[in-house]
Chains A and B, each alone.
Chain A
């Protein structure tokens, strides 16, 4: 273990590396060991893609504290551009995905650079406007998106659905690493400073504009690539589905329910989301909005770290005591209203609602 530590940059914990390699190996070989039917296989593939997108949403929503209701815009741009490229050029699919992702990231910068100067709710509201305007324009722009008839990719060409599992896994694994890096490296501290107090961050030399733009660019890139993989998986895409408000909300819900600001929470959120969608919602389709709404309310009022927070509590019951830094990082949302020095030890942070009421 000490050998490993020497090789790693200081932000990387050796245990995390071991866990990552182990998790990756398990997921990589899982379908080869147990042969799923292609339905389950496909559901897991989709969960990987959404997990990546949810983590990317979380960089902005959790690390920087800028809640986006508009990530569907980048999902759509990435999806449609890579679909177009696959149709009109002979690029390998992964180049098409990356080009789509880069285009999505550039688009994110285009609207994000000016709007990221807004804080809190204003940024969130602006993203609703961006994503809805994008959806309308994309639907109207038939030459690019095929209009409301959408685009069908050729079925015989491109990646077989089956092997998409591993591409989606690589993609998710890469995003997990990036998530970890963005949180644990010094960049993470910069982002945290911005989240706590933009002006104070500026004062100590953290360029909020630069950091936020960079995070949005990365976030857009990942969501754009997710859109590309989604297009390859579903073969047919259509603007109403790709750019829809529901799509944006789904990223937000995965992030918030999984655990805003945590590293792996969104992955958990994405898997829960996909499983709910496929199994529970299939039996009670009338209830899905209400279910997500209720989860959102419960999370905000009682467990701001979502499912991650819940797991953490369970872990505490078994005597696990995480390092204080991790908790404060995750809990900044709670303490954002207080003076920075008022950050309390984890145990007292559990019930924000009651605390706020007292205050």
Chain B
């Protein structure tokens, strides 16, 4: 009896399933043709940022950069397109550091609010998820918050990234280490302990170091290669492994919380290496406060931008002054990148003389902009999948609390110290 019932039910369900699975309505893929190419009354730029959730701090920093750039542009009435000056407006939403939310909000901005163009959110995973919406809808998407190459090697045509790849961050650091090695300050060959957070940021960093070591012809060898989970608590086991390996260099890639936690356990395990770095982290005032200045001395870090670049005057000085006037503190690289991302977009809009997607995309792809970023030029080369490519600045913490730029030499504001003086005695 039971079996019969089951069979009867199954057959019924199966038939219904077949029946309804027959077909689904589809949509004409083409978006409705936009308005005639006339100048709008206002340029509407859509963006989401993680204003709450895990990445809230960084999201708020980007927000400052975005808002400053809009303010500066609107001071003179806006952007010049088609012989008219048109104000720009930012429609900024909070994606709560959640991928699905970031995607849904982008859909809302593009299709409901009808924004002309999108600015990106912050952190690689969010940008990677959200940019798919811009690509599907063929709307230019300019971001300053996604550094991983995984975003740009998908063959997308509408995504532009102002953050240089993290691989290059590792390469720049390694170049400096190699220079010190040639000067006899670092052993040759040098053994590397490489620890990276298991995120695309960390993966790129690891790749940068590994590639450099492979091409160094034996000057560098990676002896520890371990990843760790974001927001880990206890690094004692992996640090013990580092200790046993007897490596000369300690290269880690971590976000701020993990940097603080790991460095604390590093110090209390009595570890010391000729060169120590946490990738992009190291110079943060918060870290010095949480760890004590004596425990962050001589840590090396490489970043996309540094306020000391303002000492050379020009656009950097202007940006820093404008920022200080509004927020009363020095900007960090987050704000600078947010600001510069918006400026790249505005420059492209003026170049294109239009906010129509196609001409704007062309203008972004061909952009050559004088920039506050190291190297002084910003462009989105096609070869890298429209990801900007410029040198990093390497900085080193000093006992007096400053972190001068030590590499590249033409931008240096201080002298590098290697090997790590902490290890003596």
Report chain A residues within 8 Å CB of B124.
Answer: 149
A321 interface residue, CB < 8 Å from B?
no
Q: Identify the stretch in B8-16, B296-304, B417-425 within 8 Å (CB) of chain A at 4 or more residues.
A: B8-16
Given contacts A39-B112, A148-B200, A285-B94, contact A9 B5 (CB under 8 A): yes
A170 interface residue, CB < 8 Å from B?
yes
Q: How far is the CB of A45 from chain B (nearest CB, A)?
A: 11
A324 interface residue, CB < 8 Å from B?
no
The residue of chain B having its C-beta at the shortest distance from the C-beta of A287 within the complex is B52
A202 interface residue, CB < 8 Å from B?
no
Report chain B residues within 8 Å CB of A278.
Answer: 101, 104
The residue of chain B having its C-beta at the shortest distance from the C-beta of A187 within the complex is B6
Q: Identify the stretch in B24-32, B238-246, B248-256 within 8 Å (CB) of chain A at 4 or more residues.
A: B24-32
C-alpha spacing A149/B151, complex, angstroms: 9
A336 interface residue, CB < 8 Å from B?
no
CB-based contact A181/B13 at 8 Å? yes
CB-based contact A167/B24 at 8 Å? yes
Interface residues on B, range: 35 or more
CB-based contact B24/A174 at 8 Å? no
Report chain A residues within 8 Å CB of B135.
Answer: 155
CB-based contact B125/A42 at 8 Å? no
Q: How far is the CB of B63 from chain A (nearest CB, A)?
A: 14
A166 interface residue, CB < 8 Å from B?
yes
Q: Identify the stretch in A74-82, A157-165, A327-335 within 8 Å (CB) of chain B at 4 or more residues.
A: A157-165
C-alpha spacing A155/B134, complex, angstroms: 11
Q: How far is the CB of A243 from chain B (nearest CB, A)?
A: 13
CB-based contact B125/A150 at 8 Å? yes
- Partner pick for A181 among B9, B136, B200, CB 8 A cutoff: B9
CB-based contact A149/B100 at 8 Å? no
CB-based contact A42/B8 at 8 Å? no
C-alpha spacing A236/B148, complex, angstroms: 14
CB-based contact A155/B132 at 8 Å? yes
13 A-B residue contacts at CB 8 Å?
A9-B5, A38-B111, A40-B112, A148-B200, A149-B200, A150-B128, A155-B156, A160-B29, A165-B24, A166-B25, A236-B132, A282-B101, A282-B105
B347 interface residue, CB < 8 Å from A?
no
C-alpha spacing A148/B128, complex, angstroms: 11
A: residues with CB less than 8 A from B are 9-11, 24, 31-32, 37-40, 42-43, 46, 94, 136, 139-140, 146-150, 152, 155, 160-163, 165-167, 170, 173-174, 177-178, 181, 185-187, 234-236, 238, 240-241, 277-278, 281-282, 285-286, 288
C-alpha spacing A136/B198, complex, angstroms: 10
CB-based contact A94/B21 at 8 Å? yes
CB-based contact B132/A152 at 8 Å? yes
B: residues with CB less than 8 A from A are 2, 5-6, 8-9, 12-13, 16-17, 20-21, 24-27, 29, 51-53, 93-94, 96, 99-101, 103-105, 107-108, 111-112, 124-125, 128-129, 132, 135-136, 148, 150, 154, 156, 198-200, 202-203, 227, 229
CB-based contact A163/B5 at 8 Å? no
- Partner pick for A11 among B9, B94, B103, B125, CB 8 A cutoff: B9
CB-based contact B200/A9 at 8 Å? no
The residue of chain A having its C-beta at the shortest distance from the C-beta of B10 within the complex is A181
Q: How far is the CB of B92 from chain A (nearest CB, A)?
A: 12
Report chain B residues within 8 Å CB of A285.
Answer: 51-53, 94, 96
C-alpha spacing A173/B21, complex, angstroms: 11
Report chain A residues within 8 Å CB of B25.
Answer: 31-32, 163, 166
Given contacts A9-B12, A173-B20, A181-B13, contact A43 B104 (CB under 8 A): yes
Q: How far is the CB of B254 from chain A (nearest CB, A)?
A: 14
Given contacts A9-B9, A166-B25, contact A42 B107 (CB under 8 A): yes
The residue of chain A having its C-beta at the shortest distance from the C-beta of B153 within the complex is A152
Q: How far is the CB of A194 from chain B (nearest CB, A)?
A: 15
Q: How far is the CB of B146 from chain A (nearest CB, A)?
A: 11
C-alpha spacing A161/B136, complex, angstroms: 9
C-alpha spacing A358/B167, complex, angstroms: 66
CB-based contact B125/A162 at 8 Å? no
C-alpha spacing A240/B24, complex, angstroms: 32
Given contacts A39-B112, A42-B107, contact A235 B132 (CB under 8 A): yes
Report chain A residues within 8 Å CB of B112.
Answer: 37, 39-40
C-alpha spacing A280/B256, complex, angstroms: 31
Q: How far is the CB of B100 from chain A (nearest CB, A)?
A: 7
The residue of chain A having its C-beta at the shortest distance from the C-beta of B20 within the complex is A170
Q: How far is the CB of B199 from chain A (nearest CB, A)?
A: 5
Q: A148-B200, A165-B24 are in contact. List 20 more A-B contacts (CB 8 A).
A: A42-B107, A46-B104, A148-B198, A148-B203, A155-B135, A155-B136, A160-B26, A160-B27, A160-B29, A162-B27, A163-B25, A163-B26, A170-B21, A170-B24, A186-B5, A187-B6, A234-B103, A236-B132, A240-B125, A241-B129
The residue of chain A having its C-beta at the shortest distance from the C-beta of B4 within the complex is A9
- Partner pick for A148 among B51, B104, B132, B199, CB 8 A cutoff: B199
C-alpha spacing A147/B204, complex, angstroms: 12
Q: How far is the CB of A47 from chain B (nearest CB, A)?
A: 11
Report chain B residues within 8 Å CB of A136.
Answer: 229
Given contacts A170-B21, A187-B6, contact A282 B125 (CB under 8 A): no
CB-based contact B24/A163 at 8 Å? yes
CB-based contact A185/B125 at 8 Å? no
CB-based contact B20/A234 at 8 Å? no
Report chain B residues within 8 Å CB of A11.
Answer: 5, 9
C-alpha spacing A152/B155, complex, angstroms: 11
Report chain A residues within 8 Å CB of B227.
Answer: 140
Report chain B residues within 8 Å CB of A177.
Answer: 13, 16
Q: How far is the CB of B25 from chain A (nearest CB, A)?
A: 6
The residue of chain A having its C-beta at the shortest distance from the C-beta of B200 within the complex is A149
C-alpha spacing A24/B44, complex, angstroms: 39
- Partner pick for A238 among B6, B51, B52, B128, CB 8 A cutoff: B128
C-alpha spacing A150/B94, complex, angstroms: 23
C-alpha spacing A195/B399, complex, angstroms: 66
C-alpha spacing A332/B104, complex, angstroms: 38
The residue of chain A having its C-beta at the shortest distance from the C-beta of B12 within the complex is A9
Report chain B residues within 8 Å CB of A161.
Answer: 136
